[in-house]
Amino acid sequence: MSFSQLGLSDKVLAAVKAAGYENPTPIQSEAIPHVLARRDVLGIAQTGTGKTAAFTLPMITMLETGRARARMPRTLILEPTRELAAQVQENFEKYGVGQKLNVALLIGGVSFDDQDAKLTRGVDVLIATPGRLLDHFERGRLLLTGVELLVIDEADRMLDMGFIPDIERICKLVPFTRQTLFFTATMPAEIRRVTEQFLSSPVKVEVAKPATAAATITQQLVKCGREPHEKREMLRRVIRNTTENFKNAIIFCNRKREVALLHRSLVKHGFNAVALHGDMDQPARMAALDKFRKGEADLLIASDVAARGLDIPDVSHVFNFDVPFHADDYVHRIGRTGRAGKSGTAYTIVTSADQKAVAAIEKLIGQQIPVAPSFGKPDSVEPEEAPVRTERPRERQRGERRRGSHSPAPTAASPAPVARIDQARRRQQTAADLEPDHSHLPAFLLRPVRVKA
């Protein structure tokens, strides 16, 4: 089947051809005719199957007629993250060439006034994250009564990020007669409840089993010690010994602070890496993504903000520095590679504490993940990467009270003989040496107090 058989307009077909696409993916060929027929659609497909184009292409065709009004968008697309929202906007720019479509983006990290100016001019397509959309609505800057089509993308990610209450509220604010497109990769019970509540007799389009990994991805486990410096050292060994078909890689961590720490460590050891996590402002996040997409950086260290939906073509490898908390996240992480029928490789560093998490992942994907062979001899661990115990403030205070107010606190590098010499000197101190020191007090507090008889 070709795109010309799906009922798209001539302008859209010309834009698709100019982009270099000839045949639609399974999710596109099955969903697009139903969207053009104004049916509600429930799309279930694994990441990298072309879900974004499955709703952007028919939307552009449908929006060729009609006109947008001030503060009343004609269509609304909800995305869980800023990066996904920006990516959908890029799709409209690519496939909407030659069409007078007004597209607005409502995401965090951007001025409210700039976004409000676009809404005032009227928009055909409004792409938003739930939080920023509700902020504009509560300020009276936005009316949702003119929405003809609502798209909820990456719904399972919305659930993970706690956006389901916001989604339910937004669904009640848009007209009851709107058309709804609902796309997800997995179908937890909560997502199923939302679809039953807000979709009207939807057409179910399922092109892959929920939470399955692509067959083009080679998966392997890498066993390692539990200490953070051991995991960092193992990751460096795996990257250096992975030379076959290596082009670039995304490295996933569970926590934002671990992303920053691992980024500093890899850069220090000579790797060309950039970081991406939720605490970065929007310009820095987009700059890191652009640098990785253009090949200016070989490694992208990221939290799960990059695990879903981001269109980063030709990622050859994925490294799970941490085993994800949820088994579903594993499928989305490794889905960054092996896209569009290309082969990919995914390594997951596991410790003895990760056995239950790995078992849950293997149960979900229905296969056992093999253990990778050895990756050579360990690198030398630098002194600052070795674990060093430091005193907490309360321990330091107790130690000072035991040692006396005039004795310097021992440092982590102080040798034992120095400590014994200090103890001998303290025993030799006279009573005068142990008098309290009032030199730090203001002069008026040292004046004698006169007591009347």
Return the pLDDT at 412.
43
Lowest mean pLDDT among 48-57, 124-133, 362-371, 379-388: 379-388
Q: Which band of pLDDT confidence, cut at 50, 70 and 90, is reported for residue 210?
A: low
Lowest mean pLDDT among 13-22, 365-374, 401-410: 401-410
152 φ, ψ to 5°? Answer: -110, 110
Q: Give the burial class of 70: count Cβ atoms within 10 A of its Cβ; 0-12 exposed, 13-18 middle, 19 or more buried.
A: exposed
Give the CB-side neighbour count of residue 44, counting CA atoms within 13 A. 16
Q: What is the tens place of the pLDDT at every residue in 333-357?
A: 888 888 767 889 999 999 999 999 9
Q: What is the tens place of the pLDDT at every residue in 287-323?
A: 998 899 899 999 999 987 766 656 677 899 999 999 9
The CATH homologous superfamily of the domain defined by 3-206:
P-loop containing nucleotide triphosphate hydrolases (3.40.50.300)
Q: Which band of pLDDT confidence, cut at 50, 70 and 90, is reported for residue 399?
A: low
Return the pLDDT at 415.
44
Q: Give the burial class of 387: count Cβ atoms within 10 A of its Cβ; 0-12 exposed, 13-18 middle, 19 or more buried.
A: exposed
Specify the higher pLDDT residue, 407 or 282. 282
- Give the best-scoring range by mean pLDDT among 158-162, 277-281, 291-295, 421-425: 291-295
Return the pLDDT at 48.
66
In this prediction, residues 259-269 reach a mean pLDDT of 94
335-371 b/e (C-beta count within 10 Å ≥ 16 → b): bbbbbeeeebbbbbbbbeebeebbebbbebbeeebee
Say which CATH topology domain 217-385 has. Answer: Rossmann fold (3.40.50)
In this prediction, residues 209-236 reach a mean pLDDT of 86
Q: What is the mean pLDDT of the chain?
A: 83
Return the pLDDT at 453.
63
Characterize the bridge pairing of strands 344-350 and 217-223. Answer: parallel
Do 110 and 135 contact (CB within 8 A), yes or no? no
Lowest mean pLDDT among 121-130, 363-372, 377-386: 377-386
The token duo for 90 is 């890029």
Q: Is 344 left (phi over 0), alpha (psi -120 to 50) or beta?
A: beta
The gap from C-alpha 239 to its chain's centroid, in whole angstroms, comes to 22
In this prediction, residues 86-107 reach a mean pLDDT of 92
- The yes-or-no answer to whether 3-206 and 217-385 have a common fold is yes
Q: Which band of pLDDT confidence, cut at 50, 70 and 90, is reported for residue 244?
A: confident
Return the pLDDT at 296.
93
Return the pLDDT at 222.
95
In this prediction, residues 182-211 reach a mean pLDDT of 86
Is 149 a residue whose pLDDT tops 60?
yes
Return the pLDDT at 209.
60
In this prediction, residues 262-269 reach a mean pLDDT of 95
Total Cβ atoms within 10 A of residue 50:
20
pTM (predicted TM-score): 0.67
Specify the higher pLDDT residue, 33 or 378. 33
DSSP string, 72-139: B-SEEEE-SSHHHHHHHHHHHHHHTTTS---EEEE-TTS-HHHHHHHHHH--SEEEE-HHHHHHHHHT
| The one-letter amino acid at 88 | V
Where are the domains positioned within the chain?
3-206, 217-385
Is 405 a residue whose pLDDT tops 50?
no
Q: Which of 370, 84, 328 is nearest to 209 (CA)?
A: 328
348 forms beta bridges with: 221, 320
Q: Which band of pLDDT confidence, cut at 50, 70 and 90, is reported for residue 397?
A: low
Please state, in angstroms and rounded to a whole number, the distance separating the CA atoms of residues 180 and 35.
Answer: 9
DSSP string, 168-207: HHHHHHS-TT-EEEEEES---HHHHHHHHHH-SSPEEEES
Any idea which residue has 């951007």 for tokens? 110
The token duo for 183 is 């796309």
